[in-house]
Amino acid sequence: MKQPKEIRKPEGKLGILLPGLGAVSTTTIAGTMLARKGLGAPIGSLTQMGTIRLGKRTDNRSPMIKDFLPLATLDQLTFGAWDLFPDNAYEAAKHAEVLEHRHIDAVREELELIRPMRAVFYPEYVRRLHGTHVKTGSSKADMVEQLRADIRGFIRDQGVSRAVAVWCGSTEVYIEPTDVHQSIDAFEAGLLASHPAISNSQMYAWACMKEGVPFANGAPNLTVDFPAAWDLSKKLEVPIAGKDFKTGQTLMKTVIAPGLKARMLGIAGWFSTNILGNRDGEVLDDPDSFKSKEVSKLGVLEYILQPHVYKELYGKIFHKVRIEYYPPRGDAKEGWDNIDLVGWLGYPMQMKINFLCRDSILAAPIVLDLALLMDVAHRAGFSGTQEWLSFYWKSPMTAPTLYPEHDLFIQSMKLKNTMRWMMGEDLITHLGNEYYD
């Protein structure tokens, strides 16, 4: 990435396109509408509530991030979506049962105007869902063209000056990159041949990139994380990012594990289990969709703890992650972690974490932040994988030669230093020697 000389101003409206109009999308949309009416606070959103320190600690310069970066304002946002169910955003929000009626009804009219476009949906990638609001096409290449026409139509009809997309669709079955994923030509040939390794979400990502729409992937699917997609995003100068929103249990893991490691406390085992009962939980009840999630969740400790470097402390760690579909809880997930620690002279200790969280309440601010930051990245001339947004991901995309950085505090420093660098401010090292000279 080159340091931007100038960042284009956020003029006109910004369209936020959401493939998947389920719990996360509707909570994001309704929350944004409520926040701009002053009927709710966008808690959890760094772009809306966070500050950034600039210069020396004695300078007392800590503007709000939204005043420091040239971000689109909430009033400038317009939402669009695709789904395989025809429910508008009001009906979908009611079905999701995340927000209370007092919240949904306060923005009912605006929500009802958001009607999903027909989905590209080959059911073999999400086997638990059966919807009717879907496109028909002669090939996967034809499906991409139809999605491109949707995007152009949305931009024209809504009068937005530009758009970004955040995948909020279901988790797809686990797919490894194959030959079709290795180059732009191979992928386009694969689209024409309707290759089985090209999933629904990959078609959305391809269509967005072709239309110059930055694409962030909230699910653990392959979607936009393979060589052909990296190449296309560079060639067309579109930012891409992913994958899998870092919300509940994994967010806590990337807070606690770096802390234990910083103090050189050993870990013998880490067992994590969850119960959840929303549609996401139902989809994850399919072992092949769960496999995508499991891979995404398991990588975290391996990279943070570096067992190959700290053999004595973490070399034998037993890490297990379970997700159980349990309908009575709906979106109100409950996560349990049991950590078996090892201290001085090898004495064992235990830590238990019981997190009664709300999945979509934690995910919505991430969707908003990603949309605004992907848009500013595009206006700054950034393209390809946006690793500085690792902060938001369970399984951050990186350059192929790099390992992902999972530690939330390193991710936060990287995010804020990138913001400073974008705006020509000094980077902060936290050395602090100068105050004692």
What is the C-alpha to C-alpha distance for residues 151 and 134, in angstroms, rounded to an integer?
Answer: 16
Is residue 203 within a helix (H) or strand (E), and if so which, with residue range?
Answer: helix 200-210
Pick from 249, 274, 360, 383: which binds ligand NAD (CB under 6 A)?
360
Window 1 to 60, contacts with ligand NAD (CB under 6 A): 19-24
Q: Could you say which DSSP state residue 111 is in?
A: H
| Site string (74-113) toward ligand NAD, x via CB under 6 A | --------xxxx----------x-----------------
Pick from 245, 391, 392, 393: which binds ligand NAD (CB under 6 A)?
245
Does residue number 160 form part of the binding site for ligand NAD (CB under 6 A)? no
| Site string (273-292) toward ligand NAD, x via CB under 6 A | -----xxx------------
Q: Could you say which DSSP state residue 225 is in?
A: -
Nearer of residues 245 and 382 to ligand NAD, judged by Cβ:
245
Nearer of residues 51 and 194 to ligand NAD, judged by Cβ:
194
Q: Which stretch binds ligand NAD (CB under 6 A): 179-187, 232-240, 354-362, 398-406?
A: 354-362
Tokens of 175: 């797919």
Pick from 89, 251, 362, 374: which binds ligand NAD (CB under 6 A)?
362
Burial class (CB in 10 A: 0-12, 13-18, 19+), 156: exposed
Rounding to the nearest 10 degrees, give the CA dihedral for residues 258, 263, 269, 273: -40
What is the C-alpha to C-alpha distance for residues 104 and 106, in angstroms, rounded to an integer?
Answer: 5
CA dist list (Å): 295 to 23, 75, 223, 322: 23, 38, 15, 11
Position of minimal CB gap to ligand NAD: 22
What is the C-alpha to C-alpha distance for residues 268 and 318, in angstroms, rounded to an integer?
Answer: 6
Q: Which stretch binds ligand NAD (CB under 6 A): 62-70, 241-249, 375-383, 395-403?
A: 241-249
CB 110, CB 33: distance < 8 Å:
yes
| Site string (178-217) toward ligand NAD, x via CB under 6 A | ----------------------x-----------------
| Shortest spacing between CB 199 and ligand NAD, in angstroms | 8
Count of residues interacting with ligand NAD (CB under 6 A): 35
Give every CB contact of residue 367 below 8 A, 6+ residues apart in sequence. 18, 24, 25, 28, 166, 168, 218, 245
Residues lying near ligand NAD in the complex (CB under 6 A) are found at 19-24, 82-85, 96, 119-121, 126, 129, 131, 168-171, 200, 218-219, 244-245, 247-248, 278-280, 359-360, 362-363
